[in-house]
Structures are given as structure tokens and as C-alpha cells.
Amino acid sequence: MTIDDLRQEIDRLDSALLHIFNVRASLALQIGEVKKKLALPVYDPAREKRIFARMKELNTGPLDDQAIVRLFERVIDESRRLERIMTTRDGKEKGEGTACSSS
Amino acid sequence: MTIDDLRQEIDRLDSALLHIFNVRASLALQIGEVKKKLALPVYDPAREKRIFARMKELNTGPLDDQAIVRLFERVIDESRRLERIMTTRDGKEKGEGTACSSS
């Protein structure tokens, strides 16, 4: 395979990643909504640990487990950041104070 | 959908992400091999810029473009890190000195 062939294949995978990142973030937002209704805490460190443990368990490489954890840390972090942005925006639209509204 | 339903869906997406991360890293390693044979420079900042531009172009949200760029920076960074590890290992196995062998 030439460099161009390999890059085309990477571009295809990147499009799939982009799609999954966004669908995953939407699902995380939905979980945030349900938690809010049930008055559950948003941050759940035990759930994150289970995600990392499951990914390490399933990881076959070539990326090592530390790389996989760093990647999923970023994925989870971006969902959390989005949730903060949305909460702040919703709060402002509704004229409510929120935990994030001072930032 | 309950929190458990949403989490099951996220778990399914995470398994897909794990697979794509590893396939993408393998392809990046193959590109590294081809570049080595052709004596081309490994680091190609123009290619990275094109990846970010393409992802921003295709991004429909809810993650914003900055989040998408941060995610792909991490993805690319982990491939590069893996390539350094492999190059060091290959060099050591062959008894060659490499740019990374002192680390």
C-alpha cells in the first residue's frame, strides 16, 4: 500500500471517529438530563473507572493500555466540558443560576 | 431510555472507538515504515492541519470544533508516541542507535 492509500484509509476511520465522538457526547448529555431529573450527582468516578478497566481488558494493541486510558480520558473530558457549556447556556436561557454560571 | 440503557449504548460505542484507535495506529505505523524506506521525514505538520480542517468541515456537533481538534490531537499524539516506542525497540533489537534510543 502507498502512503496515499494508507492515508485514505485513515481518513475513512477519522470520519467514523468523528461520528462516534458526537453520538457518544449526545448520549452523555442525555444521561446528564436523566440524572438532573432524578437529582443524582453528575460526576461518577466509579463509572469512569469501569470504562477504563473494560477498555484495558478488551485492548489488543498495538496501542498500550496507558495510551488507551489517555484517549478515553480525553473523550470523557470533552463530554463533561460540553455538559458544563450546555448547563450554563440552559441556565442563562431560563434566567436561572447554575453551578457554572459564574465562569 | 434509562441511564443503564444509555450506558450500554455508550459501552458499545467505546468498543468501536477502541477498535478504530488501534486500527488507525497500525496504519500510522505502516506509513512510518514506508516513509522510512523512502527516507521521507516522519513528522508532517501540513498533513495534520489537513486532518483538523477536514474534521472541522465535517463536524455537525454537539461537540464544538475546538473539542474535535483536541480529540484528534490526542489520537495523532498517541500514534506518534507508539511510533517512537516501536522505533526505539526495533533499533535496540537490531543493535542500532536511533534518535530515541537514549530515552
How far apart CA A84 and CA A39 sit, in angstroms, is: 16
**pLDDT tops 90 at residue B26:** yes
B70 interfacial to chain A (CB closer than 8 Å): yes
Tens of pLDDT, residue by residue over B46-94, are 999 999 999 999 999 999 999 999 999 999 999 999 998 887 877 777 6
Contacts of B22 in chain A (CB under 8 A): 59-63
Q: Residue B13 is nearest to which of A23, A61, A67, comparing CB atoms?
A: A23
Assigned C-alpha cell, A100: 457554572
Question: Is residue B1 very low, low, confident or very high in pLDDT (cuts 50, 70, 90)?
Answer: confident
> Is B67 near chain A, with CB under 8 Å?
yes
Residues of A in contact with B26 (CB under 8 A): 62
Nearest Cα of chain B lies from the Cα of A75 at a distance, in angstroms, of 7
Angle between helix A3-37 and B45-58 (nearest 10): 50
CB pairs under 8 A between A and B: 135
Residue with cell 499524539: B77
Rounded to a whole number, what is the distance in Å from the CA of B95 to chain A's nearest CA?
23
Q: Touching check for B99 and chain A: CB below 8 Å?
A: no
Predicted TM-score of the model (pTM): 0.88
Pair B88, B101: CB distance under 8 Å: yes
Q: What DSSP state is assigned to residue B100?
A: T
Tell me if chain B has a CB within 8 Å of the CB of A12.
no
CA distances in angstroms from B68 to A59, A74, B21, B81, listed in the order given: 23, 10, 15, 20
| ipTM of this complex prediction, to 2 decimal places | 0.88
> What pLDDT score was predicted for residue A99?
44
Band of the pLDDT at B42, cuts 50, 70, 90? confident
**DSSP symbol at B89:** H
Digit-coded pLDDT (tens) for A76-89: 999 999 988 887 87
